[in-house]
């Protein structure tokens, strides 16, 4: 497995603007929540474009939004909105330039760069790699960024830490994004949620 950094990727910038507006809107909406107020999960599997999305495990998780193209889960924490945890799945149009694992990896890295170009964010670190699952390759981006635009505490530095995984949908016309992230004040640490997130990250048969 070869790990790439954002700075190592060069070439044509893919057309990610529309998808990124959607992604940033989802993240921003979650950032302003005091806590998950959605519905309980009961291990309900959600279908997005025929792909089964498994919810995270545990009673602390709630489904906070769902439509034909996305589903969002949030986890309750002891810190409330000071430490938010989000996992969401989303269907995105497949750019014409994404034809294989290599181009998918390039798209994933560039999407991360674009997503944190806003002045409120400073991207601290980002690495990416390709993995092979039962249904083909997926591009995984692990990232960390500073956020100085949290609405309830403007000017203070928060950390956004997470992982995005992009899959080529079996229909050939769509990408599936599985994303999980945590936002917390600088100096705090991430919660170890590996076992809880395992069913979600195993969605799409990977």
Listed residue (77, 39, 40, 74) closest to 191, CA to CA: 77
Give backbone dihedrals phi and psi of 156, rounded to 5 degrees, phi first: -80, 150
Beta bridge mates, 177: 90, 166
pLDDT tens track of the chain, all 206 residues?
444 443 433 333 344 445 454 454 444 444 444 455 555 555 678 898 888 999 999 999 999 999 999 999 999 999 999 999 999 999 999 999 999 999 999 999 998 888 888 889 999 988 999 998 776 789 999 999 999 999 999 889 999 999 999 998 878 889 999 999 999 999 999 999 999 999 999 987 65
pTM, two decimals, is: 0.81
The domain segmentation of the chain, as residue ranges, is: 4-190+197-205
Question: Which tokens go with 65?
Answer: 């939004």
What topology is assigned to 4-190+197-205 in CATH?
Jelly Rolls (2.60.120)
- Paired sense of beta strands 4-5 and 121-133, if any: antiparallel
Q: Residue 51 class from Cβ within 10 Å (0-12 exposed, 13-18 middle, 19+ buried)? A: buried
CA torsion angle 45 49 50 52 (round to 10): -30
Give backbone dihedrals phi and psi of 60, rounded to 5 degrees, phi first: -80, -10
């Amino acid at each position: 497995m070869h790990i790439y950094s954002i700075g190592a990727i060069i070439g044509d910038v893919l057309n990610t603007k529309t998808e990124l507006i959607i992604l940033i809107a989802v993240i921003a909406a979650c950032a302003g929540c005091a806590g998950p107020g959605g519905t309980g999960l009961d291990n309900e599997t959600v279908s997005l474009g025929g792909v089964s999305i498994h919810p995270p495990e545990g009673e602390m998780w709630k489904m906070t939004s769902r439509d034909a193209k996305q589903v969002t889960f949030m986890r309750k924490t002891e810190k409330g909105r000071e430490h938010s945890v989000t996992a969401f799945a989303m269907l995105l149009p497949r750019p014409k330039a994404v034809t294989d694992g290599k181009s998918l990896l390039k798209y994933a890295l560039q999407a991360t760069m674009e997503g944190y170009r806003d002045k409120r964010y400073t991207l601290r670190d980002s690495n990416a790699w390709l993995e092979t699952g039962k249904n083909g390759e997926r591009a995984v981006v692990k990232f960390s960024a500073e956020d100085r635009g949290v609405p309830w505490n403007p000017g203070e530095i928060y950390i956004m830490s997470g992982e995005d995984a992009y899959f080529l949908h079996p229909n050939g016309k769509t990408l599936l994004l599985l994303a999980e992230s945590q936002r917390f004040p600088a100096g705090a640490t991430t919660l170890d949620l590996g076992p809880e997130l395992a069913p979600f990250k195993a969605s799409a048969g990977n």
